[in-house]
Homo-oligomer: A and B are copies of this chain.
């Protein structure tokens, strides 16, 4: 799977949704499903579904559809489910603490191994199984283990210095909750969760007509 072939980000973004739907089907003992049925559930056209899944060599059988369990496992493999990832949280404010304690991540193999802040008032405080550490200790911490992803949950003004630290330490993935878009070298992968942008989009939709 993958084997060098470049898949568009739009397709990738739909995979976790397929994965969730398939899991639900499995839990309800559904053994097979057609692209038409998936389409009705997911609000994606059947032809889009077939195209998406063909990308990964998952071909449904004419008149039979997809084997739910096989497809679920295949998409899980593509997404790297079952691999373990090591995450640190930078910023022990409300959002940072909530993410550090979020149990759903551990179930999927995302292990949060540290949480850091520069505020003496929170350093040393417990957050779930962790204790907030001084951001000054980040170098030693990361130096002694491998960290896949840094979760950024800090005020915008602190982002540039935190980015420099993280990148210098060799962390390759950044999950960004700060309200700025990041400037990073091309070998760094970034996913943004801009909460206020999402809320502004919702309130726009509430007061205006939009089309998909």
Residues on A close to B: CB < 8 A? 2, 4, 6-9, 12-13, 15-17, 19-20, 42-43, 78-81, 83, 85, 94-95, 97-99, 101-102, 104-105, 108, 110, 148-149, 172-173, 175, 179-181, 189-191, 193-212
Asked if B200 and A16 make an inter-chain contact with CB atoms under 8 angstroms apart, the answer reads yes
The reply to whether A191 and B196 contact each other, CB–CB distance below 8 Å, is no
Cα A148 to Cα B173 with chains together (Å): 36
- Taken together, the copies of this chain in the complex come to 2
- Bound Cα distance A212, B71 (Å): 25
Please judge, given known A-B contacts A108-B196, A196-B108, whether A173 and B12 are in contact too, CB under 8 Å. Answer: no
Residue from A8, A191, A209 with most neighbouring chain B CB atoms (10 Å)? A191
Closest Cβ of chain B: how far from A96's Cβ, in Å? 8
Is B202 a contact of A173 with CB atoms below 8 Å? yes
Residues from chain B with a CB closer than 8 A to the CB of A15 are 200-201, 204
A12 and B94 contact, CB distance less than 8 A: no
Q: Name 8 A/B residue pairs within 8 A (Cβ), A-sorted.
A: A7-B211, A8-B212, A9-B211, A12-B201, A20-B197, A105-B199, A148-B203, A193-B198
Q: Which residue of B lies closest to A11 (CB)?
A: B210
* Residue contact B199 to A20, C-beta cutoff 8 Å: no
Measured between beta carbons, the chain B residues less than 8 angstroms from A180 are 20
User: Beyond A110-B199, A196-B104, A199-B191, is A206–B7 a contact (Cβ under 8 Å)?
Assistant: no
User: In whole angstroms, what is the CA distance A2 to B78 when docked?
Assistant: 42
CB atoms of A78 and B204 under 8 A apart: yes
**Residues B205 and A191 in contact, CB atoms below 8 Å apart:** yes
Q: How far is the CA of A7 from the CA of B210 in the complex (A)?
A: 5
Chain B: CB-nearest residue to A13: B201
